[in-house]
Amino acid sequence: MDTLFTAMENERKQQVAPLAVRMRPRTLEDVVGQVDAVGPGSWLRTAIEQDNVSSVILYGPAGTGKTSIAHVIAETTKAAFVEVSAIGGTVSDLRREIDAAEKRLALNGSRTILFVDEIHRFNRSQQDALLHAVENRVVVLVGATTENPFFEVNSALISRSRVVELHGLSDGDIARLVDRAVQDERGLAGRYRLQPDARSAIVLLAGGDGRASLTTLELAAGMQKPGTRENPAVITKAQVESATPHRALPYDKNKDMHYDIISAFIKSMRGSDPDAALYWLARMIDGGEDPKYIARRMFIHASEDVGNADPQALLVAEAAFKAAEVIGYPECRINLAQAAVYIALAPKSNAAEAGIDAALAEVRHGPKRDVPDYLRDRHRPGSENYGEYKYPHNYPGGWVDQRYLPEGLERGCFYHPSERGWEAYRVEATARDRAQAAHAAALRAQQQAGGKAPASGNESAGASDNNPTSK
């Protein structure tokens, strides 16, 4: 309940609050960026303007305006606005607020908006406690989370809410936010002036995080006494870099950003772009990603996308994994970079992956096919009746035309080599070697027959070499 001293207490809190808190938007016009989420014509903006907000979960990276939008709702709605901590709050706290919301609704028809920041931190019991109240609109839930709500929030709550995704702020958005904070009475009140390169440094260091930009601005301003609007103190680039020496781009482990960046890394190598591969590799290294995880992904990629177009790629990936395992950071970054560049520049073939997947599909969904008798194991009684197995090393070139597939499958049904790198070379070499072997076999058969024409079997062997890629 508000008292005589409530306004004074709030004013004092506002005075000592961080710059990012003091500069929170009061209206939708104050919200920087997020046009898709709260721009003109958007669902959420319309709902706020009409004071008809239904349960919503705001999802996006840190510093993109989730809490700010919640406070705009608090400033504009006629409903009671209640905040509950997802970290320190208990099931009892939730039930107490829900009971109070029921009383408001019963006494005067007043709605209650319940804001839960970092809602993904609520355990299952806490989330379950909200279900009935949200379903019956005893409370309107406004949740905020940096984690994908479809993985971290109870599916029943998701089904009763609208998920609105927010995105990292652009450099222009960050610049406008900083400029406003410098001049606004709630901010630095014009007592400081940013040098252009200092302003650019803040934008760069923010990395799309609005809160981070205001924190950097506040820290840099704190390095000197404030001036006046007529004679403002100057904030330099050196002060900005001293206040925040390292830019921390957003990254998480085992969450959306983790999978998005590793996906970009793999696709960059697949697309033969070494610069992009190095950039995404650097993002992972800077974010503290496990180097063995990165190396494992390259290990897989070396076979999945390079394959036999360059068999050496698999050995390079193996060496990178060993280096990550034995050496670790920071030195293994070089080994990882070498492997990433090698794989990106290597010729590409997914023939091995496509071939094994096609073979597995046949095994799992096709008919049962028997091993040809002459290919069966000979270490058993009765194996003498299995027929003749032609031992390739007994033939010219170490090859002889012989069926190895079961009946019903023909050569070339699974393996379709690329026309790139070592794989293409081996296809051509195999065709040449087999043609030469067939010719030699035909000559030998001719000599054995006393100058007669080659036997039909050797003619067949030679003819089969017209499709060497299927062998």
- Please report the pLDDT score of residue 305 as a whole number: 97
- Please report the pLDDT score of residue 248 as a whole number: 63
Question: Do you find a cis peptide bond into 330, omega within 30 degrees of 0?
Answer: yes
Which among 156-165, 242-251, 457-466 has the top mean pLDDT? 156-165
Same domain, 142 and 261: no
**Does residue 202 belong to any structural domain of this protein?**
yes
**Does residue 273 belong to any structural domain of this protein?**
yes
Residue 454, burial from CB neighbour count under 10 angstroms (0-12, 13-18, 19+): buried
Token pair for residue 471?
Answer: 């062998």
Instruction: Residue 222: count other Cβ atoms within 10 Å of its Cβ.
Output: 12
CATH code of residue 271:
1.20.272.10
**Does residue 196 belong to any structural domain of this protein?**
yes
**Does residue 111 belong to any structural domain of this protein?**
yes
What value does the mean pLDDT of the chain take?
88
Owning domain of residue 204: 174-243
Q: Is 254 left (phi over 0), alpha (psi -120 to 50) or beta?
A: left
Look at residue 235 and give its three-state secondary structure: strand
DSSP state of 298: H
53 near 90, Cβ under 8 Å?
no
Rounded CA-CA distance 170/72 in Å is 21
Using one digit for the tens of pLDDT, what is the confidence trace for 69-112? 998 988 888 888 898 877 777 888 888 999 999 999 999 888 89
Question: Which amino acid appears at position 466 of this protein?
Answer: N
Same domain, 215 and 233: yes
Same domain, 273 and 330: yes
Q: Considering only CA atoms, which of 301, 290, 299 is closest in space to residue 252?
A: 290
Give the residue from 345, 365, 397 where a domain finishes: 345
Length of the chain: 471
Token pair for residue 379?
Answer: 């270490």
Q: Could you give phi then psi for residue 170, rounded to 5 degrees?
A: -75, 165
Using one digit for the tens of pLDDT, what is the confidence trace for 387-430? 999 999 998 888 888 999 999 999 999 999 999 999 999 888 88
Average pLDDT over residues 349-355: 96
Give the residue from 165, 200, 235 where a domain finishes: 165
CATH code of residue 66:
3.40.50.300
Determine what percent of the chain is predicted with pLDDT higher than 90: 61
**Does residue 125 belong to any structural domain of this protein?**
yes
Same domain, 338 and 417: no
Same domain, 183 and 221: yes
Give the residue from 345, 368, 399 where a domain finishes: 345
- Please report the pLDDT score of residue 345 as a whole number: 96
Mark 409-431 as b/e (b = at least 16 C-beta within 10 Å). eeeeebbebbebbbbbebbeebb
Same domain, 144 and 178: no
How many domains does the structure of the chain reveal? 4
Instruction: Find where tokens 């830019």 sit.
Output: 247
Has residue 275 got a pLDDT over 90?
yes
Rounded CA-CA distance 135/17 in Å is 36
95 CB-near residues (< 8 Å, 6+ apart): 129
Determine what percent of the chain is predicted with pLDDT higher than 70: 90
Token pair for residue 299?
Answer: 């290990």
Same domain, 145 and 40: yes
CATH code of residue 195:
1.10.8.60
**Does residue 355 belong to any structural domain of this protein?**
no
Q: Could you give phi then psi for residue 390, rounded to 5 degrees?
A: -85, 115
Instruction: Find where tokens 């606005």 sit.
Output: 81
pLDDT band at 469 (very low <50, low <70, confident <90, very high): very low
